[in-house]
Amino acid sequence: MAAFSKKPMLLCVTFTAILSLCLVTSLAEFQWLVQPTKADGSLSFLVVGDWGRRGGYNQSQVAHQMGIIGDKLDIDFVISTGDNFYEDGLTGVDDPAFDESFSNIYTAPSLQKQWYTVLGNHDYRGDVLAQLSPILRKLDSRWLCLRSFIVDAEIVEFFFVDTTPFSDKYFTNPKDDVYDWRGVLPRDQYLSNLLKELDLALKESTAKWKIVVGHHTIRSAGTHGNTVELVAQLLPILRANNVDFYINGHDHCLEHISSPDSALQFLTSGGGSKAWKGDIDWWNPKEMKFYYDGQGFMS
């Protein structure tokens, strides 16, 4: 089910599901993390993306509302769908943007939980290793950013995927942008290994619910639209393994698109700060369940 509640200029999108216990084995390449559930076996979390603007473009207002909703729902953690620091990632582990866009913004008591974070394309324009560094975790223990990883939350499994290296244009036509591809090259081998690891992890999963998180869209009516490389390479794996949700950012909106031929649902949460009002392409209304072209987050 989906229920929606508005605040001025902000939106919180809620998706509720009944979940059950699961056990899986770990893989060598995907780092494996464990997230405890509440005593009653339930989980609650927020999802926000495309946010890091030192409080600007209503980032601080979104953070304030996240704190309110986080308290009401007694959240267990937060997921970031990437583009964590604009415009060009971090310059290093000592970049003040880490405090100015993260630690000093998400200050509500309810948000002092683990943040599971993926990299976006803007993050790759800076020192990408800085965001992955354990030094940042020492500065703020909430911060956890990895390229691709799995979170076992007992009643659900989250598969976080590094989607930026899939996009051809960042390699063939970067324009004036400089990307930090350390740890990614050779690209073909990196992507091949990632897809094989993900496919195997999903196949071995016995979870009732399987959720894949990445930065880039697969299906979207927003500015960026569908990411053709993910449609060709990632989507078949999600379908073959009965993934329930693909959650992404990249398009600065909130969106829910259903699949015409499977149970897979596409959820965009990229409204953490700057939004693109009025920027929407036509989509089959039978599939487009919800679209909001403003700031907000998902719960």
| Residues identified as active-site | 224
279 among annotated binding-site residues: no
Other CB atoms within 10 A of residue 136 CB = 22
Q: Are 227 and 217 in contact (CB under 8 A)?
A: yes
* Cβ–Cβ < 8 Å for 21, 155: yes
Report the alpha-carbon distance of residue 76 to residue 38 in Å, rounded: 8
- 121 is an annotated ligand-binding site residue: yes
Distance CA 247, CA 210 (A): 11
To the question of whether residue 190 is assigned a binding role by annotation, the answer is no
Determine if residue 216 is labeled as part of a ligand binding site: no
127 is an annotated ligand-binding site residue: no
Residue 210 C-beta-side C-alpha neighbours within 13 Å: 21
> Is 86 labelled a binding residue?
yes
Buried b (16+ CB within 10 A) or exposed e, 224-246: bebbebbeeebbebbeebebbbb
Give the DSSP letter string of 139-163: H-TTEEE-SSEEEE-SS-EEEE---
Residue 215 in marked binding region: yes
Known binding-site residues equal 50, 83, 86, 121, 215, 250, 252
Q: Which residues are annotated as a binding site for Fe cation?
A: 50, 83, 86, 121, 215, 250, 252
